Amino acid sequence: MPSLSHTATIRMAKTRKRRSALAILVALALVVLLVSPAQASMNKLRIFERDGQTIIVSQDVGNQAFPYQWVENDPRRHPADGLTLHYRIDLTELPPGISAAETEAAVEAAVATFNREACNHNMQLVRMPSDPGANLGWVQGQIFGTGSPAAPTADITFAGWVEDEFWLAVDPNAFAIALPVLFHADGSSWIWGYDAFDPDQPATDINNDGKRDLFATEIYFRRNANYVLDDDDLGNTLFYIDLESIVLHELGHALGMDHFGRTSVILDENGDLVDVIINENSGNVMNTNNYFVRRELRGSDRASFCQLYANWGQG
Ligand SMILES: [Zn+2]
């Protein structure tokens, strides 16, 4: 991963405002997370010093999408309802201080936002029943043995709010991640995580759309954070994360959407936050920075989503 995160982490570890710094860092880490090598030129990250301040500018342009995508009516998934994407929710690893019912409500609100989008005629996200005691998460199982030993049963799994040990292995600075799992050409195994971006990995593209085929996506969130449900509590500060907003952002990734938008973060010589400047055109759900309330799709979100799904199910 780019050196930004690690350099900044060292700087900020020395400061008293470490918590706010961490919020910035994890947000910034989303800039660099899951960026396709093929699209690297579209995702620009610049860091420079000016008058003793460090300025970090991230800019993602265009209606970006990942180099992998769901195949409609994929015979390898569930062809009987092949235009549907199934999702499950892990109810064993909840955000701290938030109930299962509240977590489900936040996820379902985010799901509804994509399901009702005007350009979306044929793709629906449909929930699969959750076993309340099932710790979902195949990748988590691969890494730690916790999570699930079984391959994902849903297309999209909200696999839980998990401990820092998981993040040390996956990305030390990330807040949340949508990890892709692709079909391997051998027909019996999968390519997952960052390998999904490696063009040398033999993933399939059965519909010849130029994108490798998704078998599943697992979404994980960092447990060690302050999630809130009511945007009145959030107050657009950097200290809290609106649960529905971050779920909506990660669900966008699970649907194949990448980041866009421009943000500048300014740090003083101690690594303390001075300012965050978000371009007025960058207030999208899929902006890299997700610490504001973003519960509705905006212009670039719609363009990106519709590019992927407006013709879904029409051959
Ligand atoms: Zn993101």
**DSSP line for 63-87:** S-B-SEEPPTT-TTS-GGGTTEEEE
Give the architecture (CATH level 2) of 3-309.
Answer: 3-Layer(aba) Sandwich (3.40)
Residues with CB under 5 A from ligand 1 (ion): 30
Ligand 1 center to residue 249 CA distance, Å? 6
Contacts by 196-203, CB closer than 8 A, 24 or more apart: 196/68, 197/34, 197/35, 197/36, 197/37, 197/67, 199/37, 199/38, 203/68
Ligand 1 center to residue 84 CA distance, Å? 23
CA atoms within 13 A on the CB side of 83: 13
Ligand 1 center to residue 286 CA distance, Å? 6
Predicted local distance difference test score (pLDDT) of residue 80 = 95
- Which H helix or E strand runs over 192? strand 190-192
Ligand 1 center to residue 186 CA distance, Å? 30
pTM: 0.79
pLDDT string in tens for the chain (315-residue length)? 222 222 222 223 222 233 344 444 444 444 333 333 333 334 567 788 888 888 877 766 666 789 999 999 999 999 999 999 999 999 999 999 999 999 999 999 999 999 999 999 999 999 998 788 999 999 999 988 888 988 999 999 999 999 999 999 888 777 899 999 999 999 999 999 889 989 999 999 999 999 999 999 999 999 998 899 976 666 555 568 889 999 999 999 999 998 877 777 888 888 888 877 766 556 788 877 655 788 999 988 999 999 999 999 986
Ligand 1 center to residue 51 CA distance, Å? 31
Token readout for 74 is 């994929």
Ligand 1 center to residue 288 CA distance, Å? 5
Ligand 1 center to residue 28 CA distance, Å? 9
Ligand 1 center to residue 142 CA distance, Å? 23
Ligand 1 center to residue 259 CA distance, Å? 6
Ligand 1 center to residue 10 CA distance, Å? 23
Token readout for 242 is 């609106």
d(CA 293, CA 230): 10
